[in-house]
Structure 1
Amino acid sequence: MLTNGKAAALGLQHVLAMYAGAVLVPLLIGGAIGFNSEQMTYLVSIDIFMCGVATLLQLFVNRYFGIGLPVVLGCAMQAVSPLILIGSSDGIGVMYGAIIASGIFMLLIAGLFSKIKRFFPPVVTGTVITVIGLTLIPVGIEKMGGGSKTAAGFGSGKALFLAFLTVAIILCIQLFAKGFIRSLAIIIGLIAGTAVAAVMGMVSLAPVAEASWFHIPRPFYFGTPVFEWSSILTMILISIVSMVESTGVYFALGDVTKQKIEEQDLKRGYRAEGLAIILGGIFNTFPYTAFSQNVGLVQMSGIRTRKPIYFAAGFLMLLGLMPKIGAFATIIPEPVLGGAMVILFGMVATQGIKMLGRVDLNKEGNLMIVALSLGLGLGVTVVPELFAHLPATVQTFTGNGIVVTSITAILLNSIVHHGREEITAAPQVEKTPTELQKVM
């Protein structure tokens, strides 16, 4: 039986796993646009608060929105560069007008976009999920070295010690701990790694001291939105990219939780994201999308119910209202966070490989679908300059390895199978008594 206390601990683990990625987007955009410290404090706080709201929209299932999976939403990283460009050249009002318009577009197109479900058989879905994990692993590796590979002290002995110590702690708990403690491997690793870093003098409490105690979300904090067509078109393209990525996350979670993802589920999921993006524009934060790192956490903990995610959403909203408490999550050193991220992202890739293990790779070109999609997706991730001479609009798609993989796999599957292969989520599996206990 999953008690409230255990669910809360698991929810906190989800928050710690996604917190750095969630605050990175407002830090990058706000810093590039030139926000002052007061504006940055608001931006980060409201971003965390809205992550909780966006997550709740996916958890509350009704006939209109909410996919009902244990999914956590955070700011879409692919939106960073376009939003910096729009905000710097056209102004903050135009930037938020484009965000609101893209959310409305996602709401309107959700029904049509959900029909792509048939283009995502296991050979496509497994390939996309594998690439999602593999393309994220370098992010964790960079953090293991200290955060930025261009920094002078990158890969220092202290950083590597903390990173691999965190990995070792998580690994030992996974291998030797029992029951509920085993499902908390990530949070224990993060706390233990941070404690050791504090003894080594590598933890600063300055962010906690500088943060305010309480904060109230205010709509249109940075002014009235302005709607400009070229900026709107740019953000609509970004929203399509986010929908493609989210589709992979939804199918990954469906596979982990043994839940079949139907067209109606996708439609409600896209609508929830559209609503979250609209609210993000109104409260002057950024577009939201399903976070991949939390998929690995669901798989690793073995807890498939939504209950911990409700607590995670509540914690995010609380942290957004009380910045001083939320600041504690920001003191986790980069190497410690990186050690945990490499494991989580590796788990996402492993989930994709498991799905591909159920695919007959000897059947009508399936092997070629996987090979070429993986090759192009990972290749673009490593060498994004490949398409540097194409129009900026096209680069919105070609610059993202996950999207390149998705497009390649969908097109090849359609050519090879001519639409004969109907998509199915992971086959329904009878739950063992142990598995049933995990979801209670």
Structure 2
Amino acid sequence: MMNKQPDVSAPKAAVLGIQHLLAMYSGSVLVPILIGASLHFSSEQMTYLVSIDIFMCGIATALQIFANKYFGIGLPVVLGCAVQAVAPLIMIGQKFDFRTMYGAIIAAGLFVFLISGVFAKLRRFFPPLVTGTLITVIGLSLIPVAFQNLGGGDTAAKSFGNMGNLAIGAFTVLLILAFNVWGRGFVRSIAILIGLVGGTVLAGLMGQVSFAPVAEASWFHVPTPFYFGVPKFEWSSIVTMILISLVSMVESTGVFFALGDVVGRRIEQDDLRRGYRAEGIAVFLGGIFNTFPYTTFSQNVGLVQLSGIKTRKPVIFSALFLVILGLLPKVGALATIIPNPVLGGAMLVMFGMVAVQGIRMLQQVDFHNDKNLLVAAISIGLGLGVTVQPDIVQFLPKTAQLLFSSGILMASISAVGLNLLFNARTPQPDLDIKDGLNEKDDDK
């Protein structure tokens, strides 16, 4: 059971919900922008793609947080577009067309839903040694993304890494640190939001904020099933998306355990089954409404840990806001004006928190046993290695490249496989969640 949390008033929960929304917004919007641009969508199609994507992020999040006996894990999770799906979806769209792309997404959603029970039975393969290693790799592998944004977003741009960008990013980080260290109660819990707003104001004063996306966006948009036409089903495209969905399920498993540790709740097999089912439904609906696969966003683990507010109420508001923003593209576009250096500063803090959460979980492992030490060392090395040098798999078949260039998947395969090899006959302890709630709760 989740430990009892102090109640949070609706206004405070709403502000915290905005913080969750801003933390995931840019990453989720980036997916339709990248795919739409690569497939040469018109401006009208792009407007639909972005707005309905945000709408579906809210629906997908609601499916997870409003848990019932059939689906939903009931943790403070936020779902967004699966970034690992970008490359394969572009490949499918270019080789075939976008109707084939959406057919593959629908099939992958059904697959995730149907195998949720079987996949949940693999819980015993994720002891603290494996889960802690996986969460550490998730956090560390995202740090380069934070630094890319910190420098300005486009590494090929002449302005990348200039003093202006670095100053804005550093100011954002310092602002977050200041309010988190010296702030009290609710003010400390919204340190990330304060950093994002403060950093954006500074960037605006330096001429780096454009309101053009707001002016160009429409006021209202209605979600339309099969907006781009009737989906087409092609076997190789379906297999590709199923494999990518398995990668997402592995990542979600790590996030579920990390959040369970943060909020003080033991994650059981039935929790995992309902969590996978909710993601399967979200992916299926993504294909129906012509958006993309959805998965649990790991950066929100760091946000929950940093804010100290571990109830679902803020995320409920976040899901509501996402649905509203998806219906009102002009309002939703306001969140897109946050400059990359500001986002990079916030990401640096949040992704670092995710990595530290994994290290905390590894503290429960007996590293006097050299076998455990090797499992963690090799798995972290492989995960970070392919993240930094993805071209090392360039001579593999295309589908294999998409999979084995994922640091999260490589770390998962290594950690699970080596743990089975070395510790198959050694009982592994369950995750100890007694320290899941930290001292910040005393100030709420």
| TM-score, with length taken from structure 2 | 0.96
User: Which residue of 214, 227, 242 corresponds with 1:208?
Assistant: 214
Structure 1 residues 237, 433: CA separation in 2 closer, same or farther (over 3 Å shift)?
closer
Cα deviation for residue 357 of structure 1 reads 1.4
Larger displacement relative to structure 2 (57-66 or 384-393)? 384-393
Whole-angstrom CA distance in 1 between matches of 2:151 and 2:208: 14
Could you list the per-position Cα deviations for residues 324-374 of structure 1 after superposition, in whole angstroms to 9, with x for gaps in the alignment? Answer: 111110000110111000000000001001111121101251111111011
Cα deviation for residue 161 of structure 1 reads 0.8
Matches within 5 A, 1:36-435: 36-363=42-369, 365-418=371-424, 420-422=426-428, 424-429=430-435, 435=441
Whole-angstrom CA distance in 2 between matches of 1:317 and 1:422: 42
Cα deviation for residue 436 of structure 1 reads 8.1
CA RMSD of aligned residues (A): 1.4
The residue type equivalent to 2:249 in the other structure is: M
Structure 2 stretches lacking a partner, 5+ long = 1-6
Q: Give the corresponding residue for 2:3.
A: none
Whole-angstrom CA distance in 1 between matches of 2:234 and 2:438: 55
Whole-angstrom CA distance in 2 between matches of 1:97 and 1:367: 44
Could you list the per-position Cα deviations for residues 397-434 of structure 1 after superposition, in whole angstroms to 9, with x for gaps in the alignment? Answer: 21100110011000111011115334523333596997
Structure 1 residues 159, 131: CA separation in 2 closer, same or farther (over 3 Å shift)?
same
The residue type equivalent to 2:293 in the other structure is: P
Contact 1:252 1:295 in 2 (8 A): yes
Cα deviation for residue 115 of structure 1 reads 1.2
Contact 1:365 1:416 in 2 (8 A): yes
Structure 1 residues 362, 160: CA separation in 2 closer, same or farther (over 3 Å shift)?
same
The residue type equivalent to 1:171 in the other structure is: L
Cα deviation for residue 272 of structure 1 reads 0.2
User: Which residue of 4, 10, 13 corresponds with 2:10?
Assistant: 4
Structure 1 residues 410, 97: CA separation in 2 closer, same or farther (over 3 Å shift)?
same
Whole-angstrom CA distance in 2 between matches of 1:336 and 1:64: 40
Q: Give the corresponding residue for 2:29.
A: 23
Structure 1 residues 12, 414: CA separation in 2 closer, same or farther (over 3 Å shift)?
same
Whole-angstrom CA distance in 1 between matches of 2:77 and 2:86: 22
Contact 1:194 1:203 in 2 (8 A): yes
Whole-angstrom CA distance in 2 between matches of 1:423 and 1:76: 31
Could you list the per-position Cα deviations for residues 60-110 of structure 1 after superposition, in whole angstroms to 9, with x for gaps in the alignment? Answer: 111110001110000001100110011112111111000000000001110
Contact 1:117 1:423 in 2 (8 A): no
Contact 1:67 1:268 in 2 (8 A): yes
Q: How many residues align?
A: 438
Cα deviation for residue 394 of structure 1 reads 2.3
The residue type equivalent to 1:284 in the other structure is: N
Cα deviation for residue 383 of structure 1 reads 1.0
Whole-angstrom CA distance in 2 between matches of 1:423 and 1:5: 41
Whole-angstrom CA distance in 1 between matches of 2:118 and 2:256: 17
Whole-angstrom CA distance in 2 between matches of 1:265 and 1:256: 16
Whole-angstrom CA distance in 2 between matches of 1:126 and 1:92: 38
Whole-angstrom CA distance in 2 between matches of 1:107 and 1:88: 27
Whole-angstrom CA distance in 1 between matches of 2:364 and 2:237: 43
- Secondary structure of the 1:201 match is coil
Whole-angstrom CA distance in 1 between matches of 2:245 and 2:276: 10
Contact 2:51 2:221 in 1 (8 A): yes
Structure 1 residues 379, 415: CA separation in 2 closer, same or farther (over 3 Å shift)?
same
Contact 1:53 1:313 in 2 (8 A): yes
Cα deviation for residue 138 of structure 1 reads 0.6
Contact 1:260 1:428 in 2 (8 A): no
Could you list the per-position Cα deviations for residues 196-222 of structure 1 after superposition, in whole angstroms to 9, with x for gaps in the alignment? Answer: 111111111111111111111000000
The residue type equivalent to 1:92 in the other structure is: F
Contact 2:306 2:353 in 1 (8 A): yes
Structure 1 stretches lacking a partner, 5+ long = none
- Secondary structure of the 2:227 match is coil
% identical equivalent positions: 61
Structure 1 residues 296, 432: CA separation in 2 closer, same or farther (over 3 Å shift)?
closer
